[in-house]
């Protein structure tokens, strides 16, 4: 019985010592604050640094355009469901949201010097009057930029004069454009060479992405400002 007192003291000292060691481990040692306790309540996912988002520039381009260039993005319609889009210098010129697109050819005329929109219209190339389109593109002034995005059917009402006018604006594919093809194009009045900004996919039951329509097209880039526009 005489040993009970000393044994209790020893047990108390050992208990206090173990408690101190445990607390030191959890707290990370003297002067280190509470990092180890914080680690217990921090999930591995939250400790991983999130990857920085890729920066987007005008019209969603992955990099900025050089000085004296206009940033653009042209998207054709998808089948007869999703309308086309034409964006220039971060301004949406034509889209379903703006309620100014329609079946056929969607065309935006832009001043090649200032980059300002002149006029934007949709022309029904299935049931419309091709003369409306001809009146729109015949009197273009030198230096006018022409942005074109197809939707559903861009070509049924096209005639030889229409194809010739688009070819003179720099198109390579206007002469062969056919029923329900997908087409995006950027040209200009007075160009000497064919435009580098054109995409065309034929309507073919063997390769169509949608039932009765080819895939939608998306084209982006930087267009040099024109030196003159009369």
The pLDDT of residue 204 is above 50 = yes
Cα–Cα distances in Å, from 172 out to 57, 118, 128, 183, 199? 29, 24, 24, 11, 9
pLDDT tens for residues 7-40? 666 566 667 666 666 556 555 544 444 444 344 3
**How many Cα neighbours within 13 Å face the side chain of 20?**
7
pLDDT of residue 138: 97
What secondary structure letter does DSSP report for 62? S
Domain ranges in the chain are: 58-224
The pLDDT of residue 198 is above 60 = yes
What is the distance between the alpha carbons of residues 134 and 116, in angstroms, rounded to a whole number? 22
Contact of 155 with 125, CB cutoff 8 Å: yes
pLDDT of residue 32: 46
What predicted TM-score, i.e. pTM, was given to this entire model?
Answer: 0.76
pLDDT of residue 130: 97
Best CA proximity match to 223, nearest among 119, 137, 144 = 144
What is the distance between the alpha carbons of residues 191 and 189, in angstroms, rounded to a whole number? 6
pLDDT of residue 116: 97
Between 9 and 170, the higher pLDDT residue: 170
Best CA proximity match to 224, nearest among 185, 199, 197, 184 = 197
- Per DSSP, which regions of 76-177 are E strands? 85-88, 91-94, 104-111, 117-123, 144-151
The pLDDT of residue 55 is above 90 = no
Range ranked top by mean pLDDT from 8-12, 33-37, 143-147, 207-211: 143-147
pLDDT of residue 57: 94
Tell me the percentage of the chain whose pLDDT exceeds 70: 75
pLDDT tens for residues 56-112? 899 999 999 999 999 999 999 998 899 999 999 999 999 999 999 999 999 999 999
């Amino acid at each position: 019985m005489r040993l009970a007192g000393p044994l209790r003291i020893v047990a108390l000292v050992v208990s206090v010592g173990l408690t101190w060691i445990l607390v030191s481990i959890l707290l990370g040692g003297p002067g280190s604050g509470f990092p180890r306790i914080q680690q217990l309540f921090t999930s591995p996912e939250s400790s991983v640094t999130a990857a920085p988002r890729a920066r987007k520039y005008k019209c969603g381009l992955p990099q900025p355009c050089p000085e004296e260039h206009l940033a653009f993005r042209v998207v054709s319609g998808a089948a007869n469901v999703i309308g086309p889009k034409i964006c220039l210098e971060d301004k949406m010129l034509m889209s379903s949201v703006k309620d100014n697109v329609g079946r056929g050819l969607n065309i935006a005329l832009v001043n090649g010097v200032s980059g300002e929109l002149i006029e934007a219209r949709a022309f029904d190339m299935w049931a419309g009057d091709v003369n409306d389109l001809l009146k729109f593109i015949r009197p273009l002034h030198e230096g006018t930029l022409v942005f074109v995005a197809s939707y559903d059917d861009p070509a049924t009402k096209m005639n030889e004069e229409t194809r010739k006018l688009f070819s003179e604006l720099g198109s390579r594919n206007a002469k062969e454009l056919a029923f329900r093809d997908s087409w995006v194009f950027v040209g200009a009045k007075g160009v000497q060479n064919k435009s580098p900004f054109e995409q065309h996919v034929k309507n073919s039951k063997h390769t169509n992405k949608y039932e009765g329509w080819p895939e939608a097209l998306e084209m982006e880039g930087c267009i040099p400002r024109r030196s003159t526009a009369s």
